[in-house]
């Protein structure tokens, strides 16, 4: 193996450790990104850290504290470009300079206008060697919403559906508990927990009296440590009952519909009725919500898809048949093959007897 290949493998090894660390904050850092940092000197690990929560020190700070004087002359591996601005914490780029590191390896650039190359420039201006793009694709997965929102002012949208083999999501009466098994339902909790908001329609709330919060997570005993998603109800006719279970925690409920004083008195944030794309922009720009999960009925799910607002579909398929009178997964009415919505398969996972498909909308046409 050539020396350059060996160096690249070493960089990738330590960056993957930093990525593992970053995932430890995946349920608690919002609206901040997930970031991990590892400090290595003479081929030996001397410090590491991750960002645990907004307002607390960033990953680099924890790693430098862990390394102490050993950080001088070392290499720091960071999953996201070190920040260059003063917020609730000082800029990490300047902290790395003061710590005396000799080299910084960065996985992802930060498109946040407050950073966007400024962190790397601070390091280079101080004579520190900077290497970028190591394990960038893997690190990008850590912060799909944050990175998209900083670049486009739109959130990363995941659409979740659960259906039978014949593409049905509920009986004609609306009864839907339960199509999928326990493992699939537990898996949904993870996707909610990494979301800044869960969007649903009023028909789903009226049919299921759903809470759409996170009630159980593998490996997390104390749910108070996670950031619960906002629950957003699209209610154009103002039908959300004040007895709805989700209003037991009204501070995490938002409603798009006609203004209702009784909801305002509870502390519920209300939006005027507007197109879905505009609502998503408001969530990013005014509420720092960068990851959105849609858990809704066929009509709203179809609207998100047809307006090309979905970045990823998470489809749970149960090995059962519900029959033609059961409710369909989507309501789109196509007459020609050219109108179909196609997807690329990202991965397939078996969860008990169910299958989870992760799908990305395809731009390809037949």
Residue 268 sits in the same domain as residue 181: yes
Q: How far is CA 158 from CA 22, 81, 313, in A?
A: 21, 26, 6
Average pLDDT in the 255-259 region?
97
pLDDT band at 366 (very low <50, low <70, confident <90, very high): very low
Q: Tens digit of pLDDT for each residue in 15-55?
A: 999 999 999 999 999 999 999 999 999 999 999 999 999 88
CB 179 within 8 A of CB 165: no
The CA-based angle 320-321-326, given to 5 degrees, is 130
Residue 248 sits in the same domain as residue 343: yes
Q: Of the candidates 143, 171, 200, which is a domain's last residue?
A: 143
Share the mean pLDDT of the chain. Answer: 92
The larger pLDDT score, comparing residue 254 to residue 331, is at 254
60 is catalytic: yes
Strands 44-50 and 36-41: antiparallel
The larger pLDDT score, comparing residue 77 to residue 172, is at 77
Packing angle of the helix pair 59-67, 92-99 (nearest 10 deg): 20
Q: For residue 148, tell me if it sits in a domain.
A: no
252: annotated binding-site residue? Answer: no
Residue 15 sits in the same domain as residue 111: yes
In this predicted structure, the answer to whether residue 1 has a pLDDT above a threshold of 70 is: no
Q: Tens digit of pLDDT for each residue in 285-329?
A: 999 999 999 999 999 999 999 999 999 999 999 999 988 888 888
37: annotated binding-site residue? Answer: no
Backbone angles phi and psi of 66, in degrees to 5 = -65, -40
Average pLDDT in the 192-201 region?
97
Q: Tens digit of pLDDT for each residue in 142-153?
A: 999 999 999 999
Q: Identify the active-site residue in 48, 60, 81, 312.
A: 60
Number of domains in the chain: 2
Q: What is this structure's pTM?
A: 0.91
- Domain extent at residue 79: 3-143
299: annotated binding-site residue? Answer: yes
Residue 122 sits in the same domain as residue 235: no
Q: For residue 15, tell me if it sits in a domain.
A: yes
83: annotated binding-site residue? Answer: yes
Omega before residue 31 within 30° of 0, cis? yes
* The pLDDT of residue 364: 57
Residue 250 sits in the same domain as residue 101: no
Using only the alpha carbons of the chain, give its radius of gyration.
23
What CATH number is attached to the domain comprising 99? 3.40.140.10
Residue 10 sits in the same domain as residue 66: yes
Residue 118 sits in the same domain as residue 168: no
């Amino acid at each position: 193996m050539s020396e350059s290949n060996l160096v690249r493998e070493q960089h990738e090894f330590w960056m993957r450790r930093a990525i593992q660390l970053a995932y430890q904050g995946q349920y608690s850092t919002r609206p901040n990104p997930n970031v991990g940092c590892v400090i290595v000197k003479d081929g030996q690990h001397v410090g590491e850290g991750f960002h645990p929560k907004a307002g607390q020190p960033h990953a680099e700070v924890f790693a430098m504290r862990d390394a102490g004087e050993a950080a001088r002359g070392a290499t720091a591996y960071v999953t996201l470009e070190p920040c260059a601005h003063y917020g609730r914490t000082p800029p990490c780029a300047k902290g790395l300079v003061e710590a005396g590191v000799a080299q910084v390896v960065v996985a992802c650039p930060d498109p946040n206008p407050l950073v966007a190359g400024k962190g790397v420039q601070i390091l280079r201006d101080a004579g520190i060697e900077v290497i970028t793009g190591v394990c960038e694709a893997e690190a990008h997965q850590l912060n799909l919403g944050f990175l998209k929102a900083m670049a486009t002012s739109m959130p990363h949208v995941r659409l979740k559906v659960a259906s039978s083999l014949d593409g049905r999501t509920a009986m004609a009466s609306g009864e839907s508990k339960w199509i999928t098994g326990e493992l699939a339902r537990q898996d949904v909790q993870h996707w909610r927990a990494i979301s800044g908001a869960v969007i649903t329609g009023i028909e789903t709330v009226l049919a299921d009296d759903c809470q759409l919060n996170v009630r159980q997570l593998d490996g997390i005993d104390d749910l108070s440590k996670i950031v619960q998603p906002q629950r957003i109800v699209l209610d154009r006719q103002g039908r959300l009952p004040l007895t709805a279970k989700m209003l037991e925690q009204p501070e995490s409920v938002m409603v798009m519909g006609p203004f209702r004083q009784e909801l305002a008195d509870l502390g519920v944030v209300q939006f005027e009725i507007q197109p879905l794309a505009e609502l998503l922009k408001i969530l990013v720009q005014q509420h720092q919500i960068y990851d959105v999960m849609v858990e809704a009925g066929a009509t709203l799910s179809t609207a998100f898809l047809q307006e090309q607002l979905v970045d990823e579909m998470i489809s749970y398929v149960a090995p059962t048949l519900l029959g033609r009178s059961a409710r369909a997964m989507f309501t789109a009415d196509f007459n020609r093959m050219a109108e179909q919505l196609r997807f690329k398969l990202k991965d397939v996972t078996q969860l008990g007897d169910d299958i989870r498909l992760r799908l990305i909308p395809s731009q390809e046409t037949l």
